[in-house]
Structure 1
């Protein structure tokens, strides 16, 4: 290898590192103020608490949320992430942005059988619920990690628990898909997207405190989380589950106008 080639390789490596480096001093965790808006998604709340999203939780556009997810988690703009970001606009009357608390609109992105929130029909579907989260927190006993198998078991256990508490819960393929995505999300961004294994303490801090566990040793994924590796992880969770749909076969995306009829866009 000649000197010029070595120089070019060193330059390219440095450029890649420069592009991927995050100034964590600018993204220290801060507890939200009483006036800051937060919603039912721990991932987006965490990004707001670290300043990747506006800390007040307001006026979030699709480009802003896609950049925040990539910067904070090294999660690329996958088809699922883009779709989720666009669906956020269905929860508000604003033309091109949403607030984090808008996402609590029942039936769009928010859903029954959450890993960390109560169902809409049972009361508070925005704030973290320790009792609900205990199903995940206590899963995979005897080891210090969660994995694909335990994630699938948690989905099944939460559904069984919720069926008792909320006989009107919605459990179509849409809700199941969102729940699988959420499970794959915590396994990948708090752990390893390839192995589907995440340390328990990282996951618990993520949900309970809505904080990136930097002090505990967490690091942003070195491998970009994208369509291929993330979809493979989702397939593993799905295959490990014995889920079956119940209730309505049609799974609409629902937008309830403040003073008007329900607008249904069938998916």
Structure 2
């Protein structure tokens, strides 16, 4: 017997099929689910692995989005690792990645520990490392991180307001304790971009709101908080998302340059700490 469905029923059936298809297509495009996370479980670094002052790159290495030993890094490897692991696009990394090549004696490769070279992309007033002139600028320091960890009290998230306040507080701390403190437009831009990025990769790239639990794990353990519910954002982290957050953090930090300091980039291991003042830049 042949059964005919009313037109309304057919329309409903087609709508359900279309919705199911759209749902499947959305799932296929889900940035988090595109990754085989079984291949990217957290592994703490060994004593022979190279790690540096950047918690983001260290985290990517700890999850295998970069070589787990933190060595033989090239610009394409860094770009792909950041895209796969955090959905961060290369336009936000290209300047830092190119500068990082100067930290190594090799022509086209570097390792994570090389990035502790002071005056390259490493800088004073870090959110989680000591200043170069005061101690170890390569390893996580809980005392330094407390400024960020204790910010935005009474809330379970960090945002651009708290990030700007933390940046100002760390600047004040470094300026008060470090006679060699450097604070030019270069350091300001690097610090502000880093603040914007931790909010975007651990939270919502559009709002800059990031759960404190995720951010704390990211800095303290250099781990993606997968077990705690973190998911790689479907929103690409690009200049379009970064711009408004960067500007809001910059305003909140109330940054002012130090008179007489000029921006410069250290281009080799063993270079002087202050080429302007010692005359080697002339």
Q: TM-score, normalised by structure 2?
A: 0.86
Give the aligned partner of residue 133 of structure 1.
145
Separation in structure 1 between the aligned mates of residue 269 and residue 250 of structure 2, nearest angstrom? 34
2:74 aligned to which of 58, 61, 85: 61
Contact preservation (8 Å) 2:62, 2:68:
yes
Separation in structure 2 between the aligned mates of residue 13 and residue 200 of structure 1, nearest angstrom? 28
Task: Extract unaligned runs of 5+ from structure 1.
Answer: none
Separation in structure 1 between the aligned mates of residue 149 and residue 24 of structure 2, nearest angstrom? 45
Query: Highest relative contact order (Cα 8 Å, sep 6+), 1 or 2?
Result: 2
Farther off after superposition, 212-221 or 236-245: 236-245
Provide the aligned length of Structure 1 versus Structure 2. Answer: 263
Change in CA separation of 1:257 and 1:75 when aligned onto 2, cut-off 3 Å: closer
Separation in structure 2 between the aligned mates of residue 262 and residue 245 of structure 1, nearest angstrom? 17
**Any residues of structure 2 matched to 1:79-90 within 5 Å, and which?**
80-90=92-102
**Any residues of structure 2 matched to 1:224-243 within 5 Å, and which?**
224-243=236-255
2:216 aligned to which of 204, 211, 220: 204
Contact preservation (8 Å) 2:182, 2:261:
no
Give the aligned partner of residue 46 of structure 2.
33
**3-state SS of paired residue (1:158):** helix
Change in CA separation of 1:15 and 1:192 when aligned onto 2, cut-off 3 Å: closer
User: Is the radius of gyration larger for structure 1 or structure 2?
Assistant: 2
1:77 and 2:80 aligned? no
Separation in structure 2 between the aligned mates of residue 14 and residue 127 of structure 1, nearest angstrom? 38
1:189 and 2:207 aligned? no
Change in CA separation of 1:29 and 1:239 when aligned onto 2, cut-off 3 Å: same
**Any residues of structure 2 matched to 1:1-267 within 5 Å, and which?**
13=26, 16-17=29-30, 21-78=34-91, 80-258=92-270
Separation in structure 2 between the aligned mates of residue 119 and residue 262 of structure 1, nearest angstrom? 14
Separation in structure 1 between the aligned mates of residue 185 and residue 256 of structure 2, nearest angstrom? 8
Separation in structure 2 between the aligned mates of residue 125 and residue 248 of structure 1, nearest angstrom? 24
Task: Extract unaligned runs of 5+ from structure 2.
Answer: 1-10
The alpha carbon displacement at 1:232 in A equals: 1.6
